[in-house]
Amino acid sequence: MSRKLVKQTEDNGKARESIRLSGRNIYTDKQNRTIYYDWVTKQGYLIEKKNENAALFYKNRFAVILMAAILLGATFLTVPQAVVAGAVMLVLAELTFRLSFLKKLEPVKDIDFEKRVSGLQYIVTEKPKGRVLLLAVLYLLLAVLVILNAVDQDYGTGLMVFSGCIAAIGVYFSVLHFVGLAKISQNENKKTGRK
């Protein structure tokens, strides 16, 4: 069970549901609402619960499309065809994001750039302890399996470097979740009075 399912806004005391967005470009405004800041248009947009899934996809669109292109290249298409398919998907996702999704959101002016919602903060305040541990282990396993697969498949230098980059990302997220787990345990110990 999450430690904070509902948050209070500062100005009017109304409860709002927690949003699963954190990291770069995610801030809050003066009313403590979740805001996506687009650095291209220099505009903030209010993310409500109903827009959360689409916002999560568009926030991670580059990684999702990269993984889709890799899967296409490994299964149905040649590598050049997968690169072209990935580029086309990227352009379509970017156009949909800019011309459709952002137009549906309410623009916001009073963004508090000091109140960025970091990934670690989100892990500590929103994710259940068991899930944090599971994700930490799974990210570490991903890193190990990617490297083992690259060695087993006898990849060339380019794909070996690419596999190393994916493994490094897996290790980063694993460490982030282990640090979050330590902070969660530390907070629980403070609440119970243990050291």
For the segment 17-47, what is each residue's pLDDT rounded down to a tens digit? 566 676 677 887 777 788 888 888 888 888 8
Q: Residue 88 pLDDT > 70, yes or no?
A: yes
Q: Residue 9 pLDDT > 60, yes or no?
A: no
Among 10-24, 140-154, 171-185, the least confident range: 10-24
pTM of the model: 0.64
Q: Distance between CA atoms of 166 and 97, rounded to whole angstroms?
A: 25
Within 13 A of 195's CA, how many CA atoms are on the CB side? Answer: 0
The DSSP secondary-structure symbol of 112 reads: E
Average pLDDT rounded to a whole number, residues 75-87? 87
6: region left, alpha or beta (phi > 0 left; psi from -120 to 50 alpha): beta
Across the strands, what pairs with 7? Answer: 16
Which run of H or of E encompasses 144? helix 129-152
Domain chopping of the chain, boundaries? 127-195
Q: Distance between CA atoms of 170 and 181, rounded to whole angstroms?
A: 16
What phi, psi does 23 have (nearest 5°)? 100, -155
Instruction: Work out the pLDDT band at 58, boundaries 50, 70, 90.
Output: confident
Contact 91, 32 (CB under 8 A): no
Which run of H or of E encompasses 143? helix 129-152
